[in-house]
Amino acid sequence: MSKKCYVCGKGPSTGNHVSHSNKKTKRRWKPNLQRVKIEIDGQIKRVRVCTDCLKSGKVVRAI
User: Domain of 63?
Assistant: 1-63
Quote the number of domains for the chain: 1
CA distance 43 to 32: 25
Bridge partners of residue 27, in order along the sequence: 15
pLDDT for 20-61, tens place per residue? 999 999 999 999 999 999 999 999 999 999 999 999 999 999
CA distances from 45 to 4, 17, 21, 56 (A): 16, 37, 48, 20
pTM greater than the 0.75 cutoff: yes
pLDDT at residue 63 greater than cutoff 90: no
Q: What is the CATH number of the domain that holds 42?
A: 2.30.170.40
